[in-house]
Amino acid sequence: MTAAIDLNYWDIAFAASIVLGLGVLLAYYRLGVTRSLVVASIRLVIQLQVIGYVLKFLFAEGRLVYVAIMATLMLLVASREIMVRQKLRLKGWASFGVGASTLFVSSFAVALFGLLVVVKPEPWYLPQYAIPLLGMIMSNTMSGVSLSMDRLTSALRDNRAIIEQRLALGQSSRESIQPYLRDCIRTGIMPVVNSMATAGIVSLPGMMTGQILAGADPTEAVKYQIIIWFFIAAGVGFGMATALRLLEMRLFDDRQRLRLDRLVGE
């Protein structure tokens, strides 16, 4: 197989010029997202440059304590992202706690299953496998959880009268919000389902593309990508179910009353 082509910083600059052109277009239409695009692009470059050196160190050392520190940092950052993406979120750090516990239960459990049962590197925490696997599962789970939580809190606010009528008629909190829960889970899982359905036809997924560019056998890269998508689907699905259950417990008290006063935001 052909070795990967090395890129230099001029190549990155040429690629950035395309985004610069996009920024000009967005500014022309006055969409108000040009600054966000610029900030996101700068963060992308800085964060990936830093993580490149961090991963180089981790791969060279290969110690469990360093892998655990990296995984904890990923968990904290992802949990904060879940919290700040909510238009309506729980007061204090409760949304952060829901996100952290959800990611820990779902992403870490699925990643451990993948490392110990499926991939089985030696040792099982080998950074070259553990960090990318956990990162892909956690990032997709973070998106699904934040989207479903945001949709549920908005649905409860917009349909408060209907939900309270159902509660007054004797329905439980779960029965009164069941239609909204189903819609939230469907909304969060559909991007994953659509990506899985079109993988290999419309798009070549990220991990598979990276391995192919690095010179790996495409048939071997396909095997890895298949199991990654299965892990991502499980992480997103279990994560959303856990997050929505925790959110429901926070928004209903012991007397089955809807407590939107526990939310802050728009």
Q: How confident is the model at residue 2 (pLDDT cuts 50, 70, 90)?
A: low
For 184-227, write each residue's pLDDT tens digit: 999 889 999 998 898 877 776 777 777 777 777 888 888 888 99
Q: What is the pLDDT of residue 225?
A: 87
Q: Name beta bridge partners: 252.
A: 258
Average pLDDT, the chain: 90
Q: What is the pLDDT of residue 4?
A: 67
Q: What is the pLDDT of residue 118?
A: 93
| Cα–Cα distance measured from residue 66 to residue 73, given in angstroms and rounded to the nearest whole number | 11
| Cα–Cα distance measured from residue 231 to residue 233, given in angstroms and rounded to the nearest whole number | 6
| Cα–Cα distance measured from residue 169 to residue 50, given in angstroms and rounded to the nearest whole number | 57
For 89-111, write each residue's pLDDT tens digit: 999 889 999 999 999 989 999 99
Q: What is the pLDDT of residue 189?
A: 92
User: For the residues 28-48, what does the mean pLDDT come to?
Assistant: 91
Q: What is the DSSP letter of 214?
A: T
The stretches of the chain forming alpha helices (DSSP H) are 9-28, 34-61, 64-84, 94-103, 109-113, 127-158, 160-168, 173-198, 206-213, 218-251
Q: What is the pLDDT of residue 1?
A: 55
Cα–Cα distances (Å) from 216 to 2, 96, 113, 129, in that order, read 9, 39, 24, 15
Q: What is the pLDDT of residue 92?
A: 87
Instruction: Please enumerate in sequence order all residues whose Cβ is within 8 A of that of 246, keeping only pairs 6 or more positions apart, or say none.
Output: 98, 101, 102
For 212-222, write each residue's pLDDT tens digit: 777 778 888 88
Nearest alpha-carbon partner for 100 in 131, 76, 135, 71 = 76
- Give residue 146's Cα distance to chain centre: 8
User: For the residues 13-18, what does the mean pLDDT come to?
Assistant: 92
Q: Is the pLDDT of residue 151 over 90?
A: yes
| Cα–Cα distance measured from residue 177 to residue 72, given in angstroms and rounded to the nearest whole number | 33
For 46-86, write each residue's pLDDT tens digit: 999 999 999 999 989 989 999 999 999 999 999 999 999 88
Query: What are the tokens at 181?
Result: 């829960």
| Cα–Cα distance measured from residue 8 to residue 200, given in angstroms and rounded to the nearest whole number | 29
Q: What is the pLDDT of residue 3?
A: 62
Q: What is the pLDDT of residue 125?
A: 94
Q: What is the pLDDT of residue 5?
A: 75
Give the percent of the chain with pLDDT over 70.
97
Angle between helices 173-198 and 160-168 (to 10 degrees): 130
